[in-house]
Amino acid sequence: MKLFVCALLVGVLCLLVPSLAKEAPPKVQVYSRAPGVADKANIFICHVSGFHPPEIQIELLKDGNPIQGANQTDLAFEEDWHYHLTKYVPFTPHKGEEFACRVTHMGKPKTHHWALRLFSMAAIGVHFGYTCACAAIFKDGRADVVANDAGDRVTPAVVAYRDTEQIVGIAAKQGRVRNAANTVVKVKQVLGRSFDDPETQAHKAQTKCQVVNKEEKPYYEITTGEHPEYVAPEDAAKLIFHKMKETAQSALGSDVTEAVITVPFEFAHAQKRALREAAEAAGFHVLRLIHEPAAALLAYNIGQDCSSGRSHVLVYKLGGTSLSVTVLQVSGGIFRVLNTHTDHSIGGESFTQALAQYLATEFKRTFKHDVSSNARAMLKLMNGADMAKHSLSSLGSANCFVDSLHDGIDFECNVSRSVTGPWLVRDRNVIPRDDVVSEAPTGNAPKQSV
């Protein structure tokens, strides 16, 4: 899961472009150094809206003539009928120079003129997941997922409320054992949703923090003081975004507010808007929201070098609470989702729960005490299992230690991939890949997986 999250962020940083109003005319900007393609110093990023990609051609003109070597499309991305086509130019443009963009749609050319604007842009890529969040920066010619103040590249998307402060990250997650009623987890699940939404009701049943109805919207009831306080999901998300902003800026050494954020493909407009508003409330200027499958293709440099032809890519995304399989068509650098399926019954947290159950079984075998029905003890085991799981992603074995798990008994257990593997996969039904592919109109074009 960590690797995929990091890959998403690298892909995010390949698309640091301003957002557009729908039906806006084509705009062109030039970055003095483009994220993700640092070896190409001079880049035009063309923003075009309202066209169907196979029916559109774009040429860059100077003094009325096409710029030689600049008429191929090296990168394109589609979202909500907005197309972003990147073109390299074989010279160094200067501020104020006059250029033109000739857009030919359905055989009818239309020319747009503009005066060049130059940018030297730094921006932050943010992945805000159901269980974790992380940030990436573009620095020294490459994208890098940065570590937080605890030295981890992934920060738990958990917010703990106390009398005088709010805590975000690993400290909030580990403190759930003592402060579960005032700890917000999986806030992304309810962002932009009504209180009666089935997802909100599922979240309400699962979380230890009380969720109440206020004006048909879900709010968290926080009881740290004499009187309860009510926190909107967007306010909790804002604190997580602020943590990501601090993490990235400490690595950059400067105050950078521009950000590109990943979103699930199935997110509705209201959810995207809520996510954007939470980020903006944290001080971000959101340049763009990019779908996670497209970010994965960008991260693995798929579809960026081919300006013609058609192929299909299968993207697996194992997140904290779900597993998604998406089929995308890559045609002339344009990414189009053909079919997608998400299974919310399996994810990284499912593996953590399975490993915690294995640890509970080992504790019962060693000490003859069954803690599987003890919520406090199982929460401790979940924390221990989560740390062990991350170690097992790169090591063959890991040591799990839980202080005073039950009746003052300290529990220590060494776990390995070979021993815990069957526990992690038993009774888990993986999404049928063949069904997802067969339902997508892929034809006979080449296929590959990410």
Quote the pLDDT of residue 31: 42
Quote the pLDDT of residue 7: 52
Higher per-residue pLDDT: 89 or 217: 217
Higher per-residue pLDDT: 307 or 352: 352
Q: Indicate if the pLDDT at residue 198 is higher than 90.
A: yes
| Contact partners, residue 87, CB within 8 Å, separation at least 6 | 43, 44, 46, 58, 60, 70, 71, 72, 73, 74
DSSP annotation of 67:
P
Tens digit of pLDDT for each residue in 265-322? 889 999 999 999 999 999 998 888 888 888 888 777 776 655 556 788 889 888 888 8
Domain at 379, CATH number: 3.90.640.10
- Mean of pLDDT values over 406-413: 92
Final residue in a domain of this structure, among 119, 145, 179: 119
Residue 375 within any structural domain of the chain: yes
- Tell me the residue range of the domain where 371 lies: 348-425
From CA 36, how far away is CA 15, in angstroms rounded? Answer: 8
- Mean of pLDDT values over 395-413: 91
Q: Indicate if the pLDDT at residue 409 is higher than 80.
A: yes
Domain count, the chain: 2
Q: Indicate if the pLDDT at residue 238 is higher than 90.
A: yes
Q: Indicate if the pLDDT at residue 140 is higher than 80.
A: no
From CA 148, how far away is CA 243, in angstroms rounded? Answer: 9
* Confidence label for 254 from pLDDT (cuts 50, 70 and 90): confident
Quote the pLDDT of residue 75: 40
Residue 317 within any structural domain of the chain: no
Highest mean pLDDT out of 27-41, 209-223, 246-260, 277-291:
209-223
Q: Indicate if the pLDDT at residue 369 is higher than 50.
A: yes
| Contact partners, residue 85, CB within 8 Å, separation at least 6 | 45, 46, 48, 58, 73, 75, 76, 333
Higher per-residue pLDDT: 38 or 185: 185
Residue 180 within any structural domain of the chain: no
Quote the pLDDT of residue 429: 52
Residue 69 within any structural domain of the chain: yes
From CA 67, how far away is CA 89, in angstroms rounded? Answer: 8
From CA 339, how far away is CA 441, in angstroms rounded? Answer: 8
Higher per-residue pLDDT: 249 or 235: 235
Residue 100 within any structural domain of the chain: yes
Quote the pLDDT of residue 124: 85
From CA 145, how far away is CA 291, in angstroms rounded? Answer: 18
From CA 36, how far away is CA 46, in angstroms rounded? Answer: 17
Q: Is 259 helix (H, G, I), strand (E, B) or coil?
A: strand
Residue 46 within any structural domain of the chain: yes
CA 173 to chain centre: 20
Quote the pLDDT of residue 435: 64
Domain at 28, CATH number: 2.60.40.10
Highest mean pLDDT out of 215-229, 319-333, 385-399:
215-229
From CA 418, how far away is CA 396, in angstroms rounded? Answer: 8
Among 221, 185, 117, 150, residue whose Cα is nearest residue 379: 185
Token duo for residue 82: 């907005």
In the predicted model, what is the mean pLDDT of the chain? 77
Higher per-residue pLDDT: 390 or 92: 390
Tens digit of pLDDT for each residue in 64-77? 777 766 544 444 44
Residue 385 within any structural domain of the chain: yes
Strands 334-343 and 323-331: antiparallel
Q: Indicate if the pLDDT at residue 258 is higher than 80.
A: yes
Quote the pLDDT of residue 448: 53
Final residue in a domain of this structure, among 119, 142, 168: 119
From CA 337, how far away is CA 441, in angstroms rounded? Answer: 10
Quote the pLDDT of residue 23: 36
Residue 431 within any structural domain of the chain: no
Final residue in a domain of this structure, among 119, 152, 177: 119
